[in-house]
Structure 1
Amino acid sequence: MNEKQRKEQSQIKQSNPADIKSDQDNLNRLKDKTSDDFIKYFEATYEPPNLRKAQKRGKQDVKYHDNFEIDEQFKGLGTGRKYLIRTYGCQMNEHDTEVMSGILEEMGYEATTNQKEADIILLNTCAIRENAENKVFGEIGHLKPLKVENPDLIIGVCGCMSQEESVVNRILEKHHQVDLIFGTHNIHRLPQLVENAHLSKERVVEVWSKEGDVIENLPKRRQGNIKAWVNIMYGCDKFCTYCIVPYTRGKERSRRPEDIIQEVRHLAAQGYKEVTLLGQNVNAYGKDFDDIEFGLGDLMDEIRKIDIPRVRFTTSHPRDFDDRLIEVLAKGGNLMPYIHLPVQSGNSNVLKLMGRKYTREQYLELVGKIKEAIPNASFTTDIIVGFPNETEEQFEDTLSLYDEVGFEGAYTFIFSPRDGTPAAKFNDKISMDEKKERLQRLNKKVNTLSAEAMKKYEGETVKVLVEGESKNNPDVLAGYTEHSKLVNFTGPRTAIGQIVEVKITEAKTWTLDGVMVEESVEVS
């Protein structure tokens, strides 16, 4: 094979098992063919991620697999090799990284934080904003010298960005140091994909536009032994006009309740102190079940009976926050009185353009219901500033809603158009300078209300789940209250991993300082 043929053959191999029976068989079959034959094969089999098809796909092909196992042939593949995963984005991506780490370690790989030691580097990406994508492409560029030094190094891009056609095409055209591209629906095929990349020495692309399956018993390498993520569902059906998530993560698919309850019980038995139930739209849990009526409220009613001190959930959508969930949360116990409830805008017309399908009034009514049932509840939110053609008056509605709800924190963003979403096509007459000025005004309010919320804790004693040393001072411990307030305090290292009482001595804008109460005991 000449150099030109080698380069062309190294371009791409799409290995979706629905279309290609055997990756290695196809590779062998192509060895003696001309480059033209390879290109024909590639054009016939490779289909990049397609946002239009993603929106139209249904759930009829979703399958449930009860017991994932790694085939014995892959278990020694990583012996003597090291891996590094860099994670961008939300808690779901963090949890996906835990799964990929678990799979790689069962294959024999060892984790490393030194990229020069790594034999495989995976970038687990986020597509929700342009800035997140720019960071990833910058990192891909920084990894190129490592590939030059070590041609056997496997560089992979996975996660939400890999589900975007434009991203995949950009990588294929400009970033030849990337060996492996796979999406959000086929993490369980990581052993096959890594083997393909090792053996074939050609670029491997496997991105599915079909719905992902629900797969149980995936191995996980959890970060720490105090707090754990528990994924209860995948995907989102809302299709807000600005959001790429339904395209990159697929439509809503819920895990069976018995599998989730078993996982939480197992974590409790291992000594974990807190679990957070995860979903792109977590309170839509169970709406896709055909055989039972069982929603998030029902699930949390079962989990609150498990002997684990703290239970949280994120992220919820106002449309799916029903009375049953409020009723169960009001029972308290190990269900934390902290609710993250993204509003995005305080103006009903903007909400309509966003496709949120609730009004300002309906949102405030929901908050009122929750406050009545859970008087000590604290709220945080997400807000988008500068949605196309948002007027000054509409932005003022967001500021006034922030005051009316009394949010104690917010993730605030300037609108970022995502290719393939309806809002990306909206004609926008607002200048970036005006959007930045609005963001500054909003952030000033966010900081002010956060400081006010923190001030009320001064002199109070709060329960803190101690996670470890403070990031800024190894002589100080850090942890979170029931309302997710970060507390830095002095106390013995034996408190790490325990829930202790801390007297707050000083409130800052975003954190609390304190001293552990003497003879403080763990609160069960």
Structure 2
Amino acid sequence: FYIVNGCSLTSGADRKCRRMINSIYKKNPETKVIITGCYAQSHPYLDSINQSKSLIVPQYLKEFIPEIATNQFRANRFSPLLLKDYLKERMQMRINAFAGRSRAFVKIQDGCSDYCAYCIIPFMRGNPKSKKAEIIIKEISGLVKAGFQEVVLTGINLGVWAEDLSGELSLSSLIRQIEKIKGLKRLRLSSIGVQHINKELIQVIADSGKLCKHLHISLQSGDDFILNKMQRKYSVSKYLGKIEQIKKAVENISFTTDIIVGFPGESNEHFKNTLKAVKIVGFLKVHIFPFSPREKTQAYCLPEKVALKTIEMRKQQLKDTAMQVSLLFRKSLLNKTVQVLFEQQEQDYSIGYSDNYVPVKVYGCKNLENKLLSIKVIRVTINHTFGRLL
């Protein structure tokens, strides 16, 4: 059988999932397909597929697919007792192993209630749900014992962790607890909203010897008019002000971000403001998404749609600008020493990531996977950063 783990973040991702499922059945009409991920959470197309040959597993149960496939291969029909057990396990959001990786990803939170105008995720994942601190600590301790050098804390809306738990808890206090785990070398945050970065968290990043000096903070637009239409919870000035605070407190910290191009009503002037913001921050990397209208979201029916040709032009312009500011940041590391955790071998190069998330290539050294080493940055090009083992 096949497993299709489908993303539903954009309409383009939906189409790819649909084409893949159709292709599988076309090649082998008798095969069985397990469909999971956000795509399986809520999509009308799934009502029309052959229910006797497919099993739709909700996003929140996908880690139990091996057991479900073995015991319950009946579309949308679970034994009530087994489903209860699955849900009990699911609330712990456990991750057990990451074969062949140097980094382990630990999901500490799921769900979001922000309801940004363009985003389908709250409809797919529901309200925020946090994993308890003691479970997180136990899980990370196990991963460290298994040999992982770096752990990445992930979540749909990481900054709201613990808001649904009792007690005086915060992401900052959790980080302090995790740092005490013996043997853990590096800790990284996957993504966080700028509105959730407070003085306490900035101080934790500045003081920590384990928390990586890198933050992924979605900008989405560099124009207040568009941010307001998107129903984001910050202004451009607040975003840039927070970035400046962090830069002053944490040397060599890097920032990555997400930006939507072509949101309804985005004019040339609005887009120029986004380019300006990108240059001011100096992002290491910008993830660029063309606006994708999603049913159920408020932006789906907004007027003033931007022409596809204009969106493509803006995407390229933003990509060019992002590459230039990334080059400037990486050049600032020339002749400096960075700590690199190596993850793979590519021909004659060992490749890994610095704590500020710069991919670094070292020539002529082999068998460095899962090793954390001091590297001197010796050369930077538009696409690559090269280093030498010290």
TM over 0.5: yes
Change in CA separation of 1:188 and 1:449 when aligned onto 2, cut-off 3 Å: closer
C-alpha distance in 2 between matches for 1:137 and 1:246: 21
Measure, in 1, the Cα distance between the counterparts of 2:12 and 2:363: 37
> Do the aligned partners of 1:147 and 1:177 also contact (CA within 8 Å) in 2?
no
Q: Do the aligned partners of 1:462 and 1:504 also contact (CA within 8 Å) in 2?
A: yes
Which of 299, 318, 321 lines up with 1:423 in the alignment? Answer: 299
CA distance in 1, matches of 2:141, 2:95: 16
Which secondary structure state, in structure 2, belongs to the residue aligned with residue 232 of structure 1?
A: strand
CA distance in 1: counterparts of 2:304 and 2:11, whole angstroms: 17
Match 1:183 to one of 40, 53, 58? 58
**Aligned twin of 2:13:** 132
Shift of 1:423: 0.5
Say if 2:282 and 2:326, in contact at 8 Å, map to a contact too: no
Distance in 2 of aligned mates of 1:340 and 1:444: 20
Counterpart among 391, 399, 404 of residue 280 in structure 2: 404
Q: How many angstroms does 1:221 deviate by?
A: 3.8
- CA apart distance, 1:174: 5.1
TM-score, structure 1 normalization: 0.68
For the 8 Å contact 2:109–2:129, the answer to whether it is kept is yes
What is the distance in 2 between the residues matched to 1:515 and 1:175?
56
Aligned mates of 1:366, 1:349 — CA distance in 2: 19
Q: Distance in 1 between matches of 2:309 and 2:93?
A: 49
For residue 501 of structure 1, the aligned residue among 360, 374, 377 is 374
Is 2:163 aligned against 1:297? no
Q: How does 1:66-105 map to 2 (within 5 A)?
A: none
Q: Aligned to 2:241, what secondary structure does the other structure show?
A: helix
Shift of 1:218: 4.2
- The equivalent residue for 2:161 is 285
Report if aligned partners of 1:124, 1:157 keep a CA contact under 8 Å in 2. yes
Please give the secondary structure, in 2, of the residue aligned with 1:127: coil
Query: Would you say the 8 A contact 1:347–1:398 is kept in 2?
Result: yes
Deviations 1:423-456 (A, max 9, x none): 1111134211111111111111001111222223
Q: Structure 2: which amino acid aligns with 1:461?
A: T
Aligned counterparts of 1:425 and 1:217: Cα–Cα separation in 2: 35
- Note the alpha carbon deviations across 1:298-346, whole angstroms, 9 max, x for none: 1111112223111001111112222221121111201111111101011
Give the Cα separation in 2 of the matches to 1:219 and 1:401. 37
Q: Does the CA-based 8 Å contact 2:254-2:357 persist in structure 1?
A: no
TM-score, L = length of structure 2: 0.91
Q: CA deviation at 1:228?
A: 0.1
Distance in 1, Cα, partners of 2:204 & 2:48: 52
1:345 is aligned to 2:218: no
Counterpart of 2:260 in 1: which secondary structure?
Answer: strand
Whether 1:310 and 2:182 are equivalent positions in the alignment is no
Which of these residues, 189, 198, 204, is aligned with residue 76 of structure 2?
Answer: 204
Q: Tell me, what secondary structure is at the counterpart of 1:350?
A: helix
Q: Give the Cα–Cα distance (whole angstroms) in 2 for the partners of residues 295 and 351 of structure 1.
A: 27
State percent identity of aligned pairs.
29
Q: Which residue in the other structure is 2:128 paired with?
A: 252
How has the CA–CA distance of structure 1 residues 395 and 175 changed in structure 2, closer, same or farther, with 3 Å as cutoff?
farther
Mapping of 1:323-472 within 5 angstroms? 323-470=199-346
Say whether the 8 Å CA contact 2:334–2:379 is kept in structure 1: yes
What's the counterpart of residue 81 of structure 2? none
Give matches, 1:196-235, under 5 Å.
198=73, 203-204=75-76, 215-216=91-92, 218=94, 220-235=96-111
8 A contact 1:154–1:197 mirrored in 2: no
Cα deviation for residue 409 of structure 1 reads 1.4
* Structure 1 CA distance for aligned equivalents of residues 371 and 276 of structure 2: 40
Residues 191 and 377 (structure 1), Cα distance of their counterparts in 2 relative to 1, 3 Å cut: closer
Are residue 147 (structure 1) and residue 28 (structure 2) matched?
yes
Distance in 1 of aligned mates of 2:51 and 2:357: 43
Cα distance in 1, alignment partners of residues 376 and 65 from structure 2? 47
Name the SS of the counterpart of 2:209 in structure 1: coil
Q: 1:217 to 1:405 in 2, by over 3 A?
A: closer
| 1:132 partner SS | helix
CA RMSD of aligned residues (A): 2.2
User: Is contact 1:155–1:177 with CA below 8 Å preserved after alignment?
Assistant: no
Any conservation in 1 of the 2:95–2:106 contact (CA below 8 Å)? no
Instruction: Say if 1:454 and 1:511, in contact at 8 Å, map to a contact too.
Output: no
Aligned-residue offset at 1:347: 1.0
The 1:254/1:490 distance shift into structure 2, 3 A limit, reads same
Gaps of 5+ in 2: 79-86
- Give 2:119's aligned amino acid: C
> Structure 1 stretches of 5 or more lacking a match?
1-119, 207-211, 518-524
